[in-house]
Structure 1
Amino acid sequence: MITVIEQAVQARLVATAPKVETVPVTLCYDRADPFAVRMAFPALATLEGVEVSWTFARELLMSGVRNPAGCGDVRVRPYDGDRTSIEFHAPEGVAIVLMTTAELQRFLERAAEIVIPGTEHLYLDLDHGLAELMRGPH
């Protein structure tokens, strides 16, 4: 049974300058972390020149493709009929990417095949998590 999915998508990086670049982005969903999705940006798309990943709630992405969602570091909202805007807020500034809504929905459908939304709690390994907490720093 598949427990992890990755999906490559193209995103438009909206910079403060008037140019807009297309960058490859990888979306990842892992049943071991059932409430979260990860979005990885390649080094060429980051200020630091290294790959950067953002992890945020799957529910935020699910809600944001339909209606504006989020008020923290990650905000998702419909942009137009075909695209969704995802904003990443960091101390260095704000990055805005536009992604095709259909690709995001396809990713969410694939994730739902691994863990049905609303059943995430069934996949948490609470004993392992508690053991890690109790073990403390190494």
Structure 2
Amino acid sequence: MAGPVRDVREVVPMHLVLSDASVLPVKAELSFEAADPYTVRVAFVGAHSTSTWLIGRELIAHGVLADASAPAGTGDVRIWRDEDPTYLLVSLSGVEGDALLAGPAEPFVRFIAATVALVPFGSESPRMEDEISRLIVTLLDA
């Protein structure tokens, strides 16, 4: 008998939009673990490189509802719907530069819905208690 599902995964085909408006295909591999319910790990996988970002689940949820006039996020990650609302845009800024990625919105919506079914918004904190206790023990034993 299988145990309870504790992870959510989704692979989204996207495009890296270059400064000359040309595009390169990439995959966004989204993963959510119930043991770390505030965070979504997103690996952007291209032909020759992978860049992994930790993005707040709530930021992604707000981003699927946002538009270009008020994107979700104010820091290194901003997310919003394109003028064509079937597409989602993700803007990333880091020490290596800036990137704009575009992909279908529906897989992101489906991914967030699956994470909410597993860990509803507002119920994240109790799930972190075991992890925080382990971290405290590790720090005290160091």
After TM superposition, is the score higher than 0.5?
yes
With over 3 angstroms needed to count, the CA separation of the structure-2 counterparts of 1:52 and 1:120, relative to structure 1, is: same
Instruction: Measure how far apart 1:19 and its partner are.
Output: 1.1
- Please name the residue that 1:107 is paired with: 111
Q: Deviations over 1:53-72 (max 9, x none)?
A: 10011000001111211111
Give the letter aligned to residue 104 of structure 2.
T
CA distance in 2, matches of 1:135, 1:74: 36
**Map 1:1-138 → 2, pairs under 5 A:** 1-44=4-47, 49-67=48-66, 68-80=71-83, 81-124=85-128, 125=130, 126-136=132-142
Call closer, same or farther: CA 1:43–1:79 in 2, change over 3 Å: closer
Does the CA contact (< 8 Å) of 2:26 and 2:46 recur in 1? no
1:42 Cα deviation after fit: 1.8
TM-score (structure 2 length as normaliser) = 0.85
**C-alpha separation between the residues in 2 aligned to 1:114 and 1:135?**
33
Q: Find the residue that maps to 1:2 and give its secondary structure.
A: coil
**What is the RMSD computed on CA atoms of the aligned residues?**
1.5
- SS, match of residue 16 in structure 1: coil
Structure 2: gaps spanning 5 or more residues = none
Q: Counterpart amino acid of 1:54?
A: W
- Normalized against structure 1, the TM-score is what? 0.87
Q: How many residues align?
A: 132
Inter-partner Cα distance in structure 2 for 1:75 and 1:134: 37
Unaligned residue ranges in structure 1 (runs of 5+): none
Amino acid at match of 1:107: F
Aligned mates of 1:7, 1:121 — CA distance in 2: 24
Give secondary structure in 1 for the equivalent of 2:137: helix
TM-superposed deviation, 1:135: 4.2
CA contact 2:92–2:98 (8 Å) conserved in 1: yes
